[in-house]
Structure 1
Amino acid sequence: MPETTPTGLTGLAFGGDYNPEQWPESVWREDMALMREAGVTMVSVGIFSWALLEPSPGTHDFGWLDRVMDLLHENGIRADLGTPTVAPPAWFYRAHPDALPVTAEGVRYAFGSRGAICHSNTAYREASAAITEQLARRYAEHPALAMWHVHNEYGVPVSACYCDSCATHFRVWLRAAYGSVEAVNEAWGTAFWGQRYGSIEEIEPPRVTPTVGNPAQALDYRRFADATLRENFVRERDILHRLAPGTPVTTNFMTALSQCDSLDYWAWGREVDLVTNDHYLITDGRRTHVNLAMAADLTRSVAGGAPWLLLEHSTSGVNWQPRNPAKAPGQMARNSLAHVARGSEGALFFQWRQSRSGAEKFHSAMLPHAGTDSRVWSEVVELGASVSELASLKSTRTVADVAMLWDWHSWWAQSLQWRPSEDHDARERADTFYEALYDRHLTVDFAHPEADLSAYPLVVVPALYLATEAAALNLKEYVAQGGTLLVSYFSGIVDEHDAVHPGPCPGALRDVLGLTVEEFSPLLDGRSVRITGPDGAELTGDVWTEFVVPRGAETVWTYADGLAAGRPAVTRHRIGDGTAWYVSTRLTARDLDTLVAGACADAGVTERPELPRDVEVVTRRGDTGTFVFAINHTESEAKVPLDAHGTELLTGERAAGRLAVPAGAVRVVRLDG
Structure 2
Amino acid sequence: MRVGVAYYPEHWDEAYWELDAKKMQEIGVSIVRLAEFSWSRMEPEEDVFTFDWLDRAIDIMFRHGIEIVLGTPTSAPPNWFMEKYPDAYILDDRLQPRYEGIRGHRCVNSPSLAKRSVVIVEQMAQRYAVHPAIIGWQIDNEFELSLCNCPNCEREFREWAFKKFDSLEVLNNAWGTVVWSGEYSNWSQLHTPRGGKRQLNPAFQLDYHRFQNQSLAAYQQLQIEILRRHCPGKFVTHNMWEDPLAIDYYKLFEPLDFAGTDYYIASNPEQLPTSAYNGAYYLDQARGLKQQNFWIMETNSGFGNSCWGPARRTMPPGFLRAVMWQCISRGADVVMNYLWRGSMSGSEQLSSGIMGHANQPSTRRLVEYTQICGEINRLSDSLDGTTLNNDIEIFYSHEIHRALQIQPQIKDGLNYDKIQKFYHTAFNNLGVGTDVIHWNSNKLNSYKLIVAPYLFLMNHEMVYRLEGFVSAGGTLVLTNRSGIKDMNNNVSPTLAPGLLANIAGLTVEEWDAIGQDGQHQVMSRNGRIYKITDWADIIAPTSASPIAWYNNDYFAGRAAVTVNNLGKGKVYYIGANFELDYLIELFGQIVDDLKITRIPNLPNGVHASIRRKATKFYLFLINFTDERKTIVLEHACYSLFDGPIPMGPLNLPPFGVEILCEGTE
Normalised TM-score (structure 2): 0.94
Aligned to 2:523: 532
Partner Cα distance (2:162, 2:183) in 1: 16
Between 468-477 and 324-333, the greater mean CA deviation after superposition: 468-477
Partner Cα distance (1:98, 1:659) in 2: 65
Which residues of 2 match residues 246-257 of structure 1 at below 5 A?
A: 246-255=233-242, 257=243
Partner Cα distance (1:15, 1:342) in 2: 18
Match among 543, 553, 567 for residue 552 of structure 1: 543
Count of paired positions = 654
- C-alpha distance after superposition, 1:248-294 (max 9, x if no partner): 11110124x22xx1311111221211211001115664352242211
Aligned to 1:279: 263
Aligned to 1:346: 334
- C-alpha distance after superposition, 1:529-548 (max 9, x if no partner): 11123443211111111221
Cα displacement (A) at 1:565: 2.1
Which residues of 2 match residues 567-606 of structure 1 at below 5 A?
A: 567-606=558-597
Between 12-21 and 466-475, the greater mean CA deviation after superposition: 466-475
RMSD of the alignment, in Å?
A: 2.0
Which residues of 2 match residues 256-267 of structure 1 at below 5 A?
A: 257-258=243-244, 261-267=245-251
Between 348-357 and 592-601, the greater mean CA deviation after superposition: 592-601
- Mapped contact 2:90–2:149 kept (Cα < 8 A): yes
Aligned to 1:383: 372
Cα displacement (A) at 1:603: 2.7
Aligned to 1:666: 657
- Mapped contact 2:267–2:315 kept (Cα < 8 A): no
Partner Cα distance (2:615, 2:63) in 1: 30
Cα displacement (A) at 1:109: 0.8
Aligned to 2:7: 18
Aligned to 2:420: 430
Q: Structure 1 residues 327, 508: CA separation in 2 closer, same or farther (over 3 Å shift)?
A: farther
Partner Cα distance (2:636, 2:170) in 1: 61
Partner Cα distance (2:87, 2:139) in 1: 23
Q: Structure 1 residues 643, 621: CA separation in 2 closer, same or farther (over 3 Å shift)?
A: farther
- Mapped contact 1:307–1:395 kept (Cα < 8 A): no
Query: 1:433 corresponds to which letter in structure 2?
Result: Y
Partner Cα distance (1:132, 1:159) in 2: 22
Partner Cα distance (1:113, 1:268) in 2: 23
**Which secondary structure does the structure 2 equivalent of 1:510 belong to?**
helix
* 2:352 matches 1:361: no
Partner Cα distance (2:326, 2:196) in 1: 46
- Mapped contact 2:268–2:313 kept (Cα < 8 A): no
- C-alpha distance after superposition, 1:554-605 (max 9, x if no partner): 1111112123222111111111111111111111212322222333244333
- C-alpha distance after superposition, 1:323-362 (max 9, x if no partner): 4111110010111011101110121111111101111111
- C-alpha distance after superposition, 1:1-29 (max 9, x if no partner): xxxxxxxxxxx221211001000001111
Cα displacement (A) at 1:209: 6.2
Query: 1:342 corresponds to which letter in structure 2?
Result: R
Which residues of 2 match residues 278-357 of structure 1 at below 5 A?
A: 278-282=262-266, 285-290=269-274, 291-304=278-291, 306-318=292-304, 319=306, 320-357=308-345
Query: 1:432 corresponds to which letter in structure 2?
Result: F
* 2:617 matches 1:638: no
Partner Cα distance (2:492, 2:209) in 1: 21
Cα displacement (A) at 1:420: 5.3
**Which secondary structure does the structure 1 equivalent of 2:406 belong to?**
coil
Cα displacement (A) at 1:196: 1.4
Cα displacement (A) at 1:171: 1.2
Between 655-664 and 59-68, the greater mean CA deviation after superposition: 655-664
Between 146-155 and 278-287, the greater mean CA deviation after superposition: 278-287
Aligned to 1:132: 121
Between 21-30 and 654-663, the greater mean CA deviation after superposition: 654-663
Aligned to 1:608: 599
**Which secondary structure does the structure 2 equivalent of 1:274 belong to?**
coil
**Which secondary structure does the structure 2 equivalent of 1:523 belong to?**
strand
- C-alpha distance after superposition, 1:623-646 (max 9, x if no partner): 594322222224215335366744
* 2:555 matches 1:564: yes
Which residues of 2 match residues 228-239 of structure 1 at below 5 A?
A: 228-239=215-226
**Which secondary structure does the structure 1 equivalent of 2:68 belong to?**
strand
Aligned to 1:8: none
Aligned to 1:7: none
Q: Structure 1 residues 209, 100: CA separation in 2 closer, same or farther (over 3 Å shift)?
A: closer
Q: Structure 1 residues 459, 584: CA separation in 2 closer, same or farther (over 3 Å shift)?
A: same
- C-alpha distance after superposition, 1:374-418 (max 9, x if no partner): 111111111110110121212321122411111111100111136
- Mapped contact 2:268–2:312 kept (Cα < 8 A): no
Partner Cα distance (2:394, 2:196) in 1: 37
Partner Cα distance (2:370, 2:524) in 1: 53
Between 488-497 and 662-671, the greater mean CA deviation after superposition: 662-671
- C-alpha distance after superposition, 1:487-514 (max 9, x if no partner): 2211121121112233211112211111
Q: Structure 1 residues 15, 560: CA separation in 2 closer, same or farther (over 3 Å shift)?
A: same
- Mapped contact 1:645–1:672 kept (Cα < 8 A): yes
Aligned to 1:115: 104
Match among 24, 27, 37 for residue 38 of structure 1: 27
Aligned to 1:181: 168
Query: 1:465 corresponds to which letter in structure 2?
Result: F
Partner Cα distance (1:303, 1:395) in 2: 16
Q: Structure 1 residues 615, 465: CA separation in 2 closer, same or farther (over 3 Å shift)?
A: same
Cα displacement (A) at 1:312: 0.3
- Mapped contact 1:38–1:381 kept (Cα < 8 A): yes
Cα displacement (A) at 1:421: 5.2
- Mapped contact 1:494–1:501 kept (Cα < 8 A): yes
Which residues of 2 match residues 494-509 of structure 1 at below 5 A?
A: 494-509=485-500
Q: Structure 1 residues 553, 643: CA separation in 2 closer, same or farther (over 3 Å shift)?
A: same
- C-alpha distance after superposition, 1:12-58 (max 9, x if no partner): 22121100100000111111111112211101000100000000000
Q: Structure 1 residues 135, 447: CA separation in 2 closer, same or farther (over 3 Å shift)?
A: same
Query: 1:289 corresponds to which letter in structure 2?
Result: P
Normalised TM-score (structure 1): 0.93
- Mapped contact 2:267–2:316 kept (Cα < 8 A): no
Between 170-179 and 280-289, the greater mean CA deviation after superposition: 280-289
Structure 1 portions without partners, runs of 5+: 1-11
Aligned to 2:398: 408
Partner Cα distance (2:269, 2:640) in 1: 33
Structure 2 portions without partners, runs of 5+: none
Q: Percent identity?
A: 29
Partner Cα distance (2:286, 2:649) in 1: 28
Cα displacement (A) at 1:215: 0.4
Partner Cα distance (1:214, 1:625) in 2: 54
* 2:132 matches 1:143: yes
Between 464-473 and 619-628, the greater mean CA deviation after superposition: 619-628
Partner Cα distance (1:28, 1:243) in 2: 28
Partner Cα distance (1:323, 1:661) in 2: 33
Query: 1:281 corresponds to which letter in structure 2?
Result: I
Partner Cα distance (2:657, 2:634) in 1: 15
- Mapped contact 1:421–1:522 kept (Cα < 8 A): no
- Mapped contact 1:44–1:81 kept (Cα < 8 A): yes
Match among 361, 366, 388 for residue 398 of structure 1: 388
Partner Cα distance (2:343, 2:366) in 1: 15
Between 143-152 and 448-457, the greater mean CA deviation after superposition: 448-457
Partner Cα distance (2:168, 2:464) in 1: 29
